[in-house]
Structure formats: structure tokens, C-alpha cells
């Protein structure tokens, strides 16, 4: 008789798991914790960005001061050189108005002409920092309104200086044109070494005017006077520019408490 092996089947019963329903206070606390975490993260990121912006702002300020200091020196040098040019133009005009063919004044006319329209003595505002502020949106980092106003005024003045420089070039060109059939340029020594040594005339040349009629000399004197007026006004603009530069430096140092 075969043995019947009875296999006992074990049945595993999983206990029922009963989820405890959260109270509204627990949901509220979880919400508060998540809200605080997000908020603190936002503030932390904003703080980092603010510190980076303030550091960049100080870089712009220091760079702007350096540019204004450079401009101050350039304005002063241009003022000095244009005052010399103005004196030469004034002397040229007087020589032309009182010109006498037999007075042997031709060499002095040549001298003052050459001194009056040598290379223009311009002062170009330094735009290094201004271009960065305008092109990269850097102006938004400047927090102080008085500083922003000072920078904008400084930039606006630079445009006025360029406008006066255009008039300078125009009147200078008119003076040069007026001498084309009056002065023999072959008498001049144009090499750099001669200019640096203040030797204006070519060796062995005797400067003589070509057909120096009275009316032509008066017209040249008028051109010299007109150009001198433009140069004198350019000097005024340069003086204003120098003052603007010094004011900007003072404002930046005061606002940012820099020595």
C-alpha cells in the first residue's frame, strides 16, 4: 500500500496594513519646510549675485577713475598746445594785415603758417570703461543715482567735444587751402627730426611768398582769425572737459568712500 504523503500547504497571510491618515497640521508643516527651503535658496542665490554685482561695480568705478585721470592729463596737455597754436594764429593774422612786400616779412609768415597748422592738438576722451558700461549692460550695476548722472553727463560732454573738433578740422582745412597758391611748400622741412628740433625751413631755401597781393594777405589774415576763434572755443571746451573729469573723480571717490 503506497504511502500517501500529504503535503501540508502553508498559507501565509499578510497582515493588513492600515495607513494612518495625516493630519492637516502635518501637511502644513511639510509645506512650510519646503517653502522655507526654496525661499532660503532663492535668497542665497540673490545674495551671491548681489555680491558679484557689487564687486563688478567697484571694478567699473576704479576703471572709470583711471580713465578720468587720463583724460584730465590729456585735456591739460591739449590746452597748453592749443594756447600756443592760438598765439601763432594771432601773430599770423597781424603779420598778414600789416604785410609790406618790401618789409622782408616772408620768412615770418612762413614760420607762423607752419606753426599754425601743424598736426591738430586734439584730446580724445577715454572710452574704455564707458563702452563696457553701455555695451554690456554695466550701467544697471551702478546703484548710486548721483554716480549714474555724473557718468551720463560726462559721456554727453564728450559728444560736444567731438562736435567742436569737427569745426576745428574744417577751419584748419580752410586755412591750409588759402595758402596753397601763396606758399611754396618746398621751403619747409617736414622730416620728423627737423620738426622735433624746431627747424622749420629746408636747408638752403629762402622762404618767399608767391604773388602776395594785399587782398590775398588780408584774406589769409581773416582765415587765421576765424580759425583762431574756433581754437579758442575748443580751449574752452577742453577746460570744461578737464573740470568734468575732476568732478567725476570727486563724485566717485565720495560716493564709494575711496581715498
Nearest by Cα to 105 from 114, 118, 92: 92
2: helix, strand or coil: coil
Please check whether residue 34 lies inside any domain of the structure. no
How many Å apart are CA 154 and CA 67, to the nearest integer? 11
Between residues 158 and 7, the one the model is more confident about: 158
User: What does the pLDDT read at residue 24?
Assistant: 66
Name the grid cell of 127.
572710452
Report pLDDT digits (tens) over 52-76: 566 777 888 888 899 999 999 999 9
Name the grid cell of 96.
598778414
User: What does the pLDDT read at residue 40?
Assistant: 66
User: What does the pLDDT read at residue 243?
Assistant: 93
- Is the CB of residue 123 less than 8 Å from the CB of residue 77? yes
User: What does the pLDDT read at residue 155?
Assistant: 85
User: What does the pLDDT read at residue 27?
Assistant: 65
The domain of 76 spans 40-255
128: left (phi over 0), alpha (psi -120 to 50) or beta: alpha
Please check whether residue 165 lies inside any domain of the structure. yes
Please give the backbone phi and psi of residue 201, each rounded to the nearest 5 degrees, phi first. Answer: -105, 145
Between residues 70 and 118, the one the model is more confident about: 70
Report pLDDT digits (tens) over 160-197: 888 888 899 999 999 999 999 898 888 777 655 444 44
Please check whether residue 168 lies inside any domain of the structure. yes
Please check whether residue 15 lies inside any domain of the structure. no
201 beta partners: 188
Mean pLDDT value of segment 92-113 = 87
Please check whether residue 215 lies inside any domain of the structure. yes
Please check whether residue 2 lies inside any domain of the structure. no
User: What does the pLDDT read at residue 194?
Assistant: 44
Q: Is the pLDDT at 152 greater than 80, yes or no?
A: yes
Please check whether residue 54 lies inside any domain of the structure. yes
Note the pTM of the prediction, 2 decimals: 0.74
CA distances from residue 149 to 216, 232, 242, 253 in whole angstroms, order as listed: 50, 29, 17, 15
Name the grid cell of 112.
607762423
Please check whether residue 79 lies inside any domain of the structure. yes
Number of domains in the chain: 1
- Is the CB of residue 147 less than 8 Å from the CB of residue 196? no
User: What does the pLDDT read at residue 224?
Assistant: 96
Query: At 204, is the pLDDT very low, low, confident or very high (cuts 50, 70, 90)?
Result: confident
User: What does the pLDDT read at residue 198?
Assistant: 52
User: What does the pLDDT read at residue 102?
Assistant: 79
Amino acid at each position: 500500500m503506497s504511502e500517501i504523503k500529504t503535503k501540508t500547504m502553508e498559507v501565509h497571510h499578510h497582515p493588513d496594513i492600515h495607513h494612518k491618515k495625516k493630519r492637516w497640521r502635518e501637511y502644513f508643516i511639510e509645506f512650510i519646510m519646503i517653502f522655507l527651503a526654496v525661499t532660503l535658496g532663492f535668497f542665497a542665490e540673490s545674495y551671491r549675485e548681489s555680491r558679484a554685482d557689487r564687486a563688478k561695480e567697484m571694478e567699473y568705478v576704479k576703471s572709470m577713475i583711471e580713465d578720468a585721470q587720463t583724460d584730465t592729463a590729456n585735456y591739460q596737455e591739449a590746452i597748453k598746445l592749443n594756447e600756443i597754436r592760438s598765439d601763432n594764429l594771432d601773430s599770423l593774422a597781424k603779420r598778414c594785415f600789416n604785410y609790406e612786400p618790401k618789409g622782408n616779412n616772408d620768412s615770418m609768415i612762413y614760420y607762423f603758417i607752419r606753426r599754425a597748422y601743424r598736426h591738430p592738438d586734439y584730446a580724445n576722451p577715454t572710452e574704455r570703461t564707458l563702452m563696457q558700461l553701455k555695451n554690456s549692460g554695466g550701467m544697471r550695476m551702478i546703484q548710486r543715482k548721483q554716480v549714474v548722472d555724473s557718468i551720463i553727463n560726462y559721456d554727453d560732454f564728450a559728444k560736444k567735444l567731438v562736435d567742436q573738433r569737427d569745426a576745428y578740422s574744417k577751419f584748419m582745412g580752410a586755412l591750409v587751402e588759402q595758402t596753397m597758391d601763396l606758399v611754396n611748400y618746398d621751403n619747409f622741412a617736414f622730416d620728423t627730426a627737423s620738426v622735433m628740433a624746431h627747424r622749420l625751413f629746408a636747408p638752403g631755401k629762402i622762404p618767399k611768398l608767391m604773388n602776395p597781393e594785399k587782398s590775398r594777405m588780408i584774406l589769409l589774415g581773416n582765415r587765421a582769425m576765424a580759425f583762431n576763434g574756433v581754437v579758442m572755443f575748443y580751449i574752452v571746451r577742453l577746460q570744461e572737459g578737464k573740470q568734468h573729469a575732476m568732478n567725476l573723480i570727486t563724485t566717485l571717490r565720495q560716493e564709494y568712500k575711496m581715498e
